[in-house]
């Protein structure tokens, strides 16, 4: 497999600017198409428990929240609402993702969104050595310390999955 030309994404630039060490990864994908997270983890030779997907939801109050969970898991909306002190939350519509975050579906990262929304990682982020998240573009991931990532985005942790 030919290695993709190493391209810097906004996420990589933010990490470098903040002095946070990371390892970039690329994976093959159909042009402009999102690939499911478990497939991404497998193509990178990574444990799906260490590769996290970034989800954006709106609370009953109208506030937006970011949740990062392992790619093979599903977000439990009740647990997520409790974690951020909302009565309820619902996933935002896919068409809202780009205008609200600056990212497309399949390339959403907790780093470098247009606005920093309250962010919560699944509690397992505290016990893994490295975490992989989208580098802000389909086909690109960054691997880094979960503690560095959570400190950068001001995230907490909670049990968020079904």
pLDDT in tens, 44-80: 999 999 999 999 999 999 999 999 999 999 999 999 9
Chain segment 87-111, per-residue pLDDT in tens? 999 999 999 999 999 999 999 999 9
Q: Could you give phi then psi for residue 129, rounded to 5 degrees?
A: -75, -45
Residue 161, Cβ density class (10 Å: 0-12 exposed, 13-18 middle, ≥19 buried): middle
> How do the domains of the chain map onto residue ranges?
24-158
Average pLDDT for 123-127 = 97
**Residues contacting 116, CB < 8 A, separation 6+:** 153, 154
Length of the chain: 162
The CATH superfamily holding the domain 24-158 is: YbaK/aminoacyl-tRNA synthetase-associated domain (3.90.960.10)
């Amino acid at each position: 497999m030919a290695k993709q030309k190493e391209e810097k994404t906004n996420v990589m630039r933010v990490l470098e600017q903040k002095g946070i060490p990371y390892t970039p990864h690329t994976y093959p994908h159909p042009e402009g198409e999102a690939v499911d997270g478990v497939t991404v983890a497998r193509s990178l030779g990574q444990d799906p428990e260490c590769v996290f997907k970034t989800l954006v939801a709106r609370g009953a109050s109208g506030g937006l929240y970011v949740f990062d969970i392992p790619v093979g898991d599903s977000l439990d909306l009740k647990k997520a609402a409790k974690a951020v002190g909302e009565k309820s939350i619902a996933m935002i519509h896919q068409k809202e993702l780009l205008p609200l975050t600056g990212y497309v579906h399949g390339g959403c990262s907790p780093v470098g969104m247009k606005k920093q929304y309250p962010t919560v990682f699944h509690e397992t982020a505290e016990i893994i050595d490295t975490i992989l998240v989208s580098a802000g573009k389909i086909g690109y991931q960054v691997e880094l310390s979960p503690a560095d990532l959570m400190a950068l985005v001001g995230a907490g942790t909670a049990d968020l999955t079904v």
